């Protein structure tokens, strides 16, 4: 090794110390350069082979390398042990995690379950991935119905889809039990909508179903109306009015759409209710005899009503939220205001 090579090795060794970041790595470098079989002792041993006239300069350079390497190594060991030392001051105040708030959609769902719970309804559950029979056929949806189109529903093959409504849970409930049945089912639903202020491809509904045995326990449209009016008052306050409008759904006959009086203008007309004084919140009706047939019930032995609420709708009315997207953005500044 000549003087030039020595300089190079010295430089490399110092770089290695600088980039070593663990105690093990530093120890390995100490062994490599200073250990019994290390590079620096080996060079010192081989000094006798260096030409006499070069020896003093070479010796000086080796000693200088050894000194600077040791110094760099010690400094690095000292600083890394300092970094790894965790200060623990027990007099410091603890970490403060601010309590969050329940999401408005969860609040509406939980309140709904509580309100219907008082009326004897239990909460049922169903999968978001449904088959065609439960989501459409058993609900008396004709094959040409637009909702069955590929462009309206998320299909996976011919018989598997993301449920477009919570109504298939009605089918599951009736196929797995005999009347009386009193259930609500909150959950996610999916449609191929483009997102804007009032639409989202994924939204939430709360389905309701009450079926009982004839002739002892006939269920009527008046029962449906009184239950939904009770729900409206509990959810929105005593001043809310409820309106039924004739409508069509394949799985109910007669069918209605349910409006709540606008909470903002109290019915006199404003931007939120588009000057009508009313806001549509649900579809409902008397369960169609064909649906009873599909689930294996005798339509002359039972009667019942069903309804389906839009959770986002109710949350937007209840908390005065003008844009559905705010419900999904998880913006803490928005959510805190509802706390």
Residues lying near ligand DAH in the complex (CB under 6 A): 165, 167, 207, 249, 252, 283-285, 306-308
- Integer Cα distance of 122 and 235 in angstroms: 18
**Shortest Å distance, C-beta 89 to ligand DAH:** 58
**Shortest Å distance, C-beta 256 to ligand DAH:** 8
- Tell me the chain's radius of gyration from C-alpha atoms: 38
In contact, 219 and 210? CB cutoff 8 Å: yes
- As to burial, measured by CB atoms within 10 angstroms (0-12 exposed, 13-18 middle, 19+ buried), residue 173 is buried
- As to burial, measured by CB atoms within 10 angstroms (0-12 exposed, 13-18 middle, 19+ buried), residue 162 is buried
**Shortest Å distance, C-beta 165 to ligand DAH:** 4
Residue with smaller CB distance to ligand DAH, 126 or 267? 126
Measured in degrees and rounded to the nearest 5, phi and psi for residue 157 equal 75, -160
Residue with smaller CB distance to ligand DAH, 27 or 280? 280
> Which structure tokens are listed for 324?
């559905």
Residue with smaller CB distance to ligand DAH, 17 or 291? 291
- Integer Cα distance of 46 and 242 in angstroms: 102
**Shortest Å distance, C-beta 96 to ligand DAH:** 44
**Shortest Å distance, C-beta 98 to ligand DAH:** 37
Residue with smaller CB distance to ligand DAH, 297 or 307? 307
**Shortest Å distance, C-beta 311 to ligand DAH:** 12
DSSP 75-87: HHHHHHHHHHPPP
Residue with smaller CB distance to ligand DAH, 25 or 221? 221
Residue with smaller CB distance to ligand DAH, 187 or 285? 285
Q: Is 213 left (phi over 0), alpha (psi -120 to 50) or beta?
A: beta
DSSP 88-108: --TTSPPP-PPP----HHHHH
């Amino acid at each position: 090794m000549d003087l030039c090579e020595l300089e190079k090795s010295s430089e490399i060794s110092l770089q290695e110390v600088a980039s070593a970041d663990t105690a093990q790595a530093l120890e390995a470098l100490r062994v490599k350069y200073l250990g019994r079989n290390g590079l620096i002792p080996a060079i010192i041993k081989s000094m006798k082979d260096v030409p006499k006239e070069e020896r003093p300069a070479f010796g000086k350079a080796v000693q200088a390398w050894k000194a600077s390497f040791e110094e760099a190594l010690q400094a690095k060991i000292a600083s890394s042990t300092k970094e790894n030392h965790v200060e623990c001051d027990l007099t410091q105040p603890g970490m403060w995690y601010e309590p969050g708030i329940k999401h408005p959609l969860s609040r509406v769902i939980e309140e709904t379950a509580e309100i219907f719970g008082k009326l004897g309804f239990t909460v049922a559950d169903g999968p978001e991935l449904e088959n065609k029979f439960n989501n459409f056929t058993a609900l008396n949806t004709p094959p040409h119905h637009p909702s069955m189109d590929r462009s309206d529903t998320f299909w996976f093959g011919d018989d598997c889809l993301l449920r477009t409504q919570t109504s298939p849970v009605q089918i599951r409930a009736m196929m797995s039990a005999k009347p009386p049945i009193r259930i609500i089912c909150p959950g996610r639903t999916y449609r191929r909508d483009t997102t804007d202020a009032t639409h989202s491809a994924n939204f939430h509904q709360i389905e309701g179903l009450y079926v009982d045995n004839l002739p002892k326990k006939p269920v009527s449209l008046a029962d449906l109306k009184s239950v939904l009016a009770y729900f409206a008052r509990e959810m929105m306050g005593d001043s809310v009015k409820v309106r039924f409008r004739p409508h069509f759904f394949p799985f109910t006959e007669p069918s209605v759409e349910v409006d709540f009086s606008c909470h903002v203008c109290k019915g006199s007309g404003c931007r939120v209710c588009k000057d009508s004084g009313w806001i549509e919140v649900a579809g409902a009706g008397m369960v169609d005899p064909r649906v009873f047939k599909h689930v294996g019930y005798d339509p002359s032995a039972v009667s019942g009503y069903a309804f389906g609420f839009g959770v986002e709708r109710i949350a937007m009315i209840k908390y005065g939220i003008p844009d559905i997207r705010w419900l999904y953005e998880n913006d803490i500044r928005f959510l805190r205001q509802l706390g």
